[in-house]
Amino acid sequence: MIKPIGSDELQPRFIYDTERHHQLAHEAESLPSITISSQAAGNAVMMGAGYFSPLEGFMTVPDAVSVAETMKMTDGRFFPVPVLCLVESTDAIAGAQRIALRDPNVEGNPVLAVMDVNAIETVSDEQMALMTEKVYRTSDSEHPGVQAFHSQGRQAISGPIHVLNFSYFQNDFPDTFRTAVEIRNEIQERGWTKTVAFQTRNPMHRAHEELCKMAMDAVGGDGVVIHMLLGKLKPGDIPAPVRDAAIRKMAELYFAPNTVMITGYGFDMLYAGPREAVLHAYFRQNMGATHFIVGRDHAGVGDYYGAFDAQTVFDEEVPEGALDIEVFRADHTAYSKKLNQVVMMRDAPDHNKEDFILLSGTKVREMLGRGEAPPPEFSRPEVAQILMDYYQSIS
């Protein structure tokens, strides 16, 4: 099986030992505490679940800046994006060597993790600007990722963490949320040797379904892990429970038995395009996938990134040998009226735009809101029904 990044075994930061977990939870009640940002909470969940292995905790500012510039920490270890715990004020934890990190996304702000404080640093304007430009390739405050990054504060708390729970993800998505440890174990149990990972923050239409099957065929894969983001999205994106129901229905009806796993992970979307694509590849290797689909405008938003920047970044910026997972580079996928099947557009050079069934996201949302199903070549009718019910419930 493919090895995790940087070690032979995953190194999740969740405390699995029952006695130690109880001891830490008890200790946390008397520790100085601070409520962290949603983005930092997502980072803690990802570290706890083993996705960010072997990262032990939140980065120092020099490490974060180095990662933004070179995808390497100051000691040379590979990581694609800064993982910071930024807060407005550290008055509540002044002088403390050990603190409790409280969850901003759960009522009552329960303790999410215990942290050993190595440093508290102020991020300068220059450092903030550099990290923003390198990671997001823009400083536009309208970019949702830039907006979230800049809304957290400038005090960076760094140090290893000991994670006590997985925030709201385990309770709200008990059938879908899985740690990297659990997915890796299930891949082994299923006997898959080649596993394709598919990232989604949206419901899957016919083209996405066929893309997963094309990738499996192309690489000789045993199965695909459909791995959906369960954290915070930008306004207007479809809520996770609706996406979950739609994807499960598609998998149940249109995939062969033992060829698909429906799972999710707890993280807030960065919308960082190319850099986020590398992060996605990083943690898919950790969860045991051997191949990862990167499509057109992967993890993008608006017009901030070129259509295939998220593919070329692996050639131009990722340090050599940093990743073992293989990237399956996909083109825009659509139903061909000429061939009566879904194809990648690059594989149909004799086609023009009119030969494909192409619908914009806006057009599809309008149709669903009117209770009108998109054509079956675009969306499976059973999936369309779930989405129509949702859009009509909010109209």
How many whole angstroms separate alpha carbon 96 and alpha carbon 106? 24
The answer to whether residue 370 is catalytic is no
- Judge whether 287 and 225 are in contact, CB under 8 Å: yes
Backbone angles phi, psi at 277, to 5 degrees: -60, -40
Nearest Cα to Cα of residue 123 among 43, 40, 61? 61
| Relative orientation angle of helices 274-286 and 309-316, to the nearest 10 degrees | 70
Task: Tell me which of 77, 118, 202, 296 is the catalytic residue.
Answer: 202
Is 365 designated active site?
no
Nearest CA to 283 among 296, 307, 265, 270?
Answer: 265
- For 87, the enclosing helix (H) or strand (E) is strand 86-87
Kind plus residue range of the DSSP H or E element containing 18:
helix 18-28
Give the angle 101-106-111 at the CA atoms, nearest 5°: 25
Catalytic one of 98, 154, 190, 201: 201
Q: Output the 3-class SS for 317-356.
A: CCCCCCCCCEEEECCCEEEECCCCEEEEHHHCCCCCHHHE
Q: Which residues carry out catalysis? A: 201-202
